[in-house]
Amino acid sequence: MRIGILGPLEVRPDDAGGAPVEIGGARLRALLTLLALDPGALVPAERIIDGLWEDDVPKGAANALQSLVSRLRSVIGRDVVESRPGAYRLALPRAAVDAHDFEARTLAARRAGDEASRSAGLRAALALWRGP
């Protein structure tokens, strides 16, 4: 699975020809984006709740979060969103998220030995951005 957050949220299956996976609802997209910012790491539920509801945290926010996670799992797969006591984790490598791929490519381009390689690497990183 590949997740794009450099532009409108986009989720694609591993197979290159696969159609994008539709993530419906602003909070569901926000939840996936919050987890994609640090894939592989445990994200505390409190931080997710703060990010999703900011100053308007509902009563029963933990239950609302569990419901959102359940909806997200039904769309992208149970094995992709893991839970631990008080935290959730996007079980994908950093390279599966375009923002982290962008960082890795720009770092590699900066370390390239010649100008042509640096320029090509930076162009490849910029190509990961979608939209205006």
pLDDT tens per residue across span 13-53: 876 667 889 999 999 999 999 999 999 999 999 999 999 99
CB 110: neighbour CB atoms within 10 A?
10
In a domain, 131, yes or no: no
How crowded is the C-beta side of 34, counted as CA atoms within 13 Å?
26
Domain CATH for 17: 1.10.10.10
Same domain, residue pair 61 and 102: no
How many domains, in total, are found in the chain? 2
Question: What is the pTM (predicted TM-score) of this model?
Answer: 0.88
CA 106 to chain centre: 19
pLDDT tens digits, one per residue of 69-80: 999 999 999 999
Same domain, residue pair 90 and 27: yes
Give the separation between CA 23 and CA 32, rounded to whole angstroms: 9
Same domain, residue pair 52 and 22: yes
Local structure of 3: helix, strand or coil = strand
